[in-house]
């Protein structure tokens, strides 16, 4: 089968690889659609932290935002799964340790992460092996484009839940990338007054959100940092209202320092978010009902042959890991497409 393989920094190509065979408790999914994100771009450039601490190494097969159809079953998997449209959790815990049994399998020390950690192959391929415990069934209302937006949506939904919004609360989101924009959509759907902060917010503004390049002089009940700027986590605790909530989901390339005296003196609730795991089911519900529609975030859908261009930015005329702030942030891949196509 065809798969996009990264063999080293800035070296990636579509190769013919052995198709996966489902192991016990696994299915093989025919991938309908997969998204690429900042993590994937960092794997391509070599900046991703996991490459430097041994949690990942080249050659790598990326892709953790996906949906598809169950095409083959491993031993012990019910036949009912065959033909179902699914997406799934990126995080694959061991299912037996204290964290896994306590409902925190996404933090399992021995976890694999699809397309990210310990060599587990990703979804930028025609077929993807997935353990059945990680699967979520997609209703008909969630087509391929929405299905590949469930994983980033799950991250954003968990961030919004951690912000504990009440109707009418004012929320500041730092960073108008995919996660920031999805969080804005979920929060707006819950009745919050949403403000976005970023260096360039032309696209976010086109979606109708209040956008700023400087923090406006308003009381914010909650702040979500979805940026990669090392100075913004400190700004979040400084600018949130006393008694408010601060959520950290963005990661900077260097340590981002926060004065914990501010957290104590302002009686803040501060939460970190890793992964979409607990947010997948809620995201599927919200997309299926139409409460949130992430389709405007998708700039283009292309074939596997255009993945390198998507990751380096040549498809969008920017550099690796960056994007044109006037354009939608997300590029989708249709592994069955041989050449570039434009429909989403
Ligand atoms: Zn991602
Ligand atoms: Zn475990």
Distance from residue 276's CA to the centre of ligand 1 (Å)? 9
Average pLDDT over residues 201-218: 96
Distance from residue 60's CA to the centre of ligand 1 (Å)? 15
Distance CA 166, CA 62 (A): 38
Q: Say which ligand is closest to the CA of 177.
A: 1
Long-range CB contacts for residues 317-323, cutoff 8 Å, separation at least 24? 320/10, 320/41, 320/44, 320/45, 321/38, 321/41, 321/42, 321/45, 321/47, 323/177
Task: Provide the pLDDT for residue 320.
Answer: 54
Domains of the chain with CATH codes: 2-149+294-333 (3.90.180.10), 158-272 (3.40.50.720)
Q: Say which ligand is closest to the CA of 65.
A: 1
Distance from residue 37's CA to the centre of ligand 1 (Å)? 5
Per the DSSP assignment, residues forming a β-bridge with 270 are 246
Distance from residue 129's CA to the centre of ligand 1 (Å)? 18
Distance from residue 88's CA to the centre of ligand 1 (Å)? 13
Instruction: Give the Cβ contact number of residue 219 at 10 Å.
Output: 11
pTM of the complete model:
0.95
Distance from residue 23's CA to the centre of ligand 2 (Å)? 19
- Residue-wise pLDDT for 168-188, tens only, equals 999 999 999 999 999 999 999
pLDDT value at 323 more than 50: yes
Distance from residue 66's CA to the centre of ligand 2 (Å)? 23
pLDDT value at 98 more than 60: yes
Distance CA 98, CA 115 (A): 25
Distance from residue 285's CA to the centre of ligand 2 (Å)? 27
Distance CA 334, CA 300 (A): 10
Distance from residue 26's CA to the centre of ligand 1 (Å)? 22
- Give the rounded distance of the alpha carbon of 37 from its chain centre: 7
- Residue-wise pLDDT for 216-241, tens only, equals 999 999 999 999 999 999 999 999 99
Q: Say which ligand is closest to the CA of 152.
A: 1
Average pLDDT over residues 58-62: 97
What is the SS3 string spanning 192-215? CEEEEECCCCHHHHHCCCEEECCC
Distance from residue 106's CA to the centre of ligand 2 (Å)? 8
Distance from residue 312's CA to the centre of ligand 1 (Å)? 16
Distance from residue 330's CA to the centre of ligand 1 (Å)? 10
Q: Say which ligand is closest to the CA of 153.
A: 1
Distance from residue 65's CA to the centre of ligand 1 (Å)? 6
Joined together, the tokens standing for residue 10 give 């800035």
Instruction: Give the Cβ contact number of residue 147 at 10 Å.
Output: 24
Distance from residue 40's CA to the centre of ligand 1 (Å)? 7
Nearest CA among 237, 279, 283, 245 for reference residue 262: 237
- Residue-wise pLDDT for 128-169, tens only, equals 999 999 999 999 999 999 999 999 999 999 999 999 999 899
- Give the rounded distance of the alpha carbon of 20 from its chain centre: 24
Distance from residue 34's CA to the centre of ligand 2 (Å)? 26
pLDDT band at 339 (very low <50, low <70, confident <90, very high): low
């Amino acid at each position: 089968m065809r798969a996009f393989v990264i063999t080293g920094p800035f070296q990636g190509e579509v190769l013919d690889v052995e198709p996966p065979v489902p192991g016990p408790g696994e299915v093989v999914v025919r991938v309908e659609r997969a998204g690429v994100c900042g993590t994937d771009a960092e794997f391509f450039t070599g900046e991703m932290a996991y490459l430097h601490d041994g949690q990942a190494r080249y050659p790598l097969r990326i892709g953790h935002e996906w949906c598809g159809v169950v095409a083959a079953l491993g031993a012990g998997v019910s036949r009912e799964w065959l033909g179902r449209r699914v997406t799934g959790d990126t995080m694959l815990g061991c299912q037996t340790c204290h964290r896994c049994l306590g409902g925190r399998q996404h933090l399992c020390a021995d976890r694999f992460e699809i397309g990210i950690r310990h060599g587990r192959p990703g979804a930028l391929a025609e077929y993807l092996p997935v353990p059945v415990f990680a699967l979520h069934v997609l209703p008909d209302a969630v087509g391929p484009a929405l299905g590949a937006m469930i994983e980033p949506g799950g991250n954003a939904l968990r961030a919004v839940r951690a912000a504990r919004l009440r109707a009418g609360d004012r929320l500041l989101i730092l960073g108008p990338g995919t996660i920031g924009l999805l969080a804005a959509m979920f929060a707006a759907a819950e009745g919050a007054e949403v403000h976005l902060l970023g260096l360039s917010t032309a696209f976010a503004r086109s979606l109708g959100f209040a956008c700023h390049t400087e923090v406006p002089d308003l009381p914010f009940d909650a702040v979500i940092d979805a940026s990669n700027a090392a100075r913004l986590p400190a700004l979040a605790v400084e600018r949130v209202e006393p008694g408010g909530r601060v959520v950290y989901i963005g990661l900077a390339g260097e340590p981002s320092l926060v004065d914990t005296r501010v957290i104590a003196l302002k009686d803040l609730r501060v939460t970190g978010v890793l992964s979409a795991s607990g947010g997948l089911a809620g995201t599927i519900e919200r997309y299926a009902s139409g409460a949130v529609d992430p389709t405007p975030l998708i700039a283009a859908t292309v074939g596997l042959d255009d993945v390198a261009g998507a990751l380096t930015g040549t498809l969008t005329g920017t550099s690796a890991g960056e994007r044109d702030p006037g354009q939608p942030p997300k590029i989708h891949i249709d592994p069955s497409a041989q050449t570039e196509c434009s429909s989403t």
